[in-house]
Structure 1
């Protein structure tokens, strides 16, 4: 394996609360009341346009665009107030620094760059690819552009994400799909999609990459996990 791509929200960072709050503000600004944070959370991973269509299917394109702009204004000012990096992310990215690492997100590239910088993660990635004017996941374009920027062929890469859109985008782009079970979708729902691997902890990625490279425990992360301590918490569903 030569390259790893990562979804951002629900994979590297727990940003659900900030996204839900900004979406609520956006809906309120365009006169849509009563949308709960729980409803927004249930649709995490959608583009803003698709989120609007899911929760307010009125077919009003102008109103939808006002919602998107209102969301972006609020998120730009408050988007990381309740956001945190998931446990093990920074250590794992350092352990995998021998690979080409990139981000492939539904966020705009500029927004993703800002969030990664604020969360102290930007330095770990050779490229950040947002969804700028082309179809979002599950369409594979964001994955293809990220791979092109990293100079990596699809057959030597994987996409790590937390929803069906990530798994489907990975398949469509011809890369392996690694699904984390702590983000937007449950382990059961993700397992039904048969990704290449299910990861209960982000740090389990090291073991999966090592198993594909023939070097278990790359970088020594998680030393001592084995007899008596439980093995790596991942399940390989198919190769």
Structure 2
């Protein structure tokens, strides 16, 4: 690298690093069935991925009272954990092509730190990290349990504080407008991936859009100079 400044690459999880849509859709179906409510369309459900579960349920079932939505959140969590336990993390939330390779490549650069900012719970993220053998990869892990829902910038602000990295030296990599808006609010660069749960034409306000993980190093090198 040209200088000794630390850089931070923060990743979203669902829809960015792993494809967990099958279990998300099944768990959401169970949550709605538990209240005898019709399941929203697939696009609606995938459209809320990245939000905290209470915010997601508010958007999917706005006409239901808080107690009903709280039961739906609990039902979703129970169903998701059951599905994952049945099939295992590697099958229920497989890596997107190139995801593990880019984590290994970036993690090998001395002055580049890796982090996560996700709508998952602490328990959910811990299980995913264990199942994929990602222990020690992420130096900062921000989850929905401890922050307002995306696009509030709290997750990124906490990641910057924990790592001591300046906002100008950090990027957020995600697949939804919530990720991009969170990055903007925190003053960090927003990089969108085109393979996730929000349509690519909704991600045009990103600072960069990549169609494959092997394009990420080039984008970072352009932003930071020769780094990787």
Distance in 2 (CA, whole Å) between partners of 1:24 and 1:131 is 21
Structure 1 residue 129: deviation in Å?
1.1
- Name the CA shift for 1:43/1:131 in 2 (closer, same or farther; >3 Å): closer
Residue number among 141, 144, 149 corresponding to 1:131 in the alignment: 144
Residue by residue over 1:50-81, the C-alpha shift from the partner in whole angstroms, topping out at 9 and shown as x without a partner, is 22222222241001111111111111222345
Equivalent residue, structure 2, for 1:156: 169
Equivalent residue, structure 2, for 1:76: 81
Residue by residue over 1:8-65, the C-alpha shift from the partner in whole angstroms, topping out at 9 and shown as x without a partner, is 1111101111111111111111221343444422332232222222222224100111
Equivalent residue, structure 1, for 2:3: none
> Any unmatched runs of 5+ in structure 2?
1-5
Residue by residue over 1:115-156, the C-alpha shift from the partner in whole angstroms, topping out at 9 and shown as x without a partner, is 122123343211211022431111000111122222212121
TM-score normalised by L of structure 2: 0.87
Q: Which moved more, 1:200-209 or 1:44-53?
A: 44-53
Equivalent residue, structure 1, for 2:25: 20
Residue number among 16, 32, 35 corresponding to 1:30 in the alignment: 35
> Any unmatched runs of 5+ in structure 1?
219-239
What is the SS of the residue equivalent to 1:94? helix
Q: Which moved more, 1:158-167 or 1:113-122?
A: 113-122
Larger relative contact order (Cα-Cα within 8 Å, sequence gap ≥ 6)? 2
Regions of 4+ moved over 6 Å? none
Matches within 5 A, 1:82-97: 82-97=92-107
Equivalent residue, structure 2, for 1:100: 113
TM-score normalised by L of structure 1: 0.83
Structure 1 residue 95: deviation in Å?
1.3
Residue number among 176, 179, 182 corresponding to 2:189 in the alignment: 176
Residue number among 2, 5, 13 corresponding to 2:7 in the alignment: 2
Q: Indicate the structure with greater helix content.
A: 2
Cα RMSD (Å): 1.8
Aligned length: 215
Q: Given that residues 110 and 130 in structure 1 are in contact (C-alpha distance below 8 angstroms), is that contact kept between their aligned partners in structure 2?
A: no
- Name the CA shift for 1:51/1:59 in 2 (closer, same or farther; >3 Å): same
